[in-house]
Amino acid sequence: MKSALELVETGSIQEEIYLSAVDLAHVLKVTDAGIAKLARSGVLVRIPRPDDARAFLYPLLENTTRYVTPPAQCPGEGSRQLSRGEEPAAEDSAGQG
């Protein structure tokens, strides 16, 4: 039996690993409320938890990739400059943190 401290090589993960919002929040260094916001905005994906209809499970590998990879920008679409004192929209800063 493998111990929890053994090194796992990136190519050795054959199946997706599903985490609770709290656990994924710990990995991504955001709050669990932040995880829910990111999922509602479409940045992260989630599936209903089979044993609790009110809870979700989050695929670790897919969501880590989605969180650290910026969304594709449409050709010709540049980032908008903010006016002095203007705050970025919630979706502009959702993936940072």
> Is the model more confident about 84 or about 4?
4
Q: How many CB atoms lie within 10 A of CB 96?
A: 8
Query: DSSP state, 89?
Result: P
pLDDT, tens only, 40-82 = 999 999 999 999 989 999 999 999 999 998 777 555 444 444 4
Q: Which residues contact 97 (CB under 8 A, 6 or more apart)?
A: 29, 30, 34
pTM exceeds cut of 0.85: no
Helix axes 21-28, 60-68, angle to 10 degrees: 40
Of residues 44, 71, 38, the one with CA closest to residue 59? 44
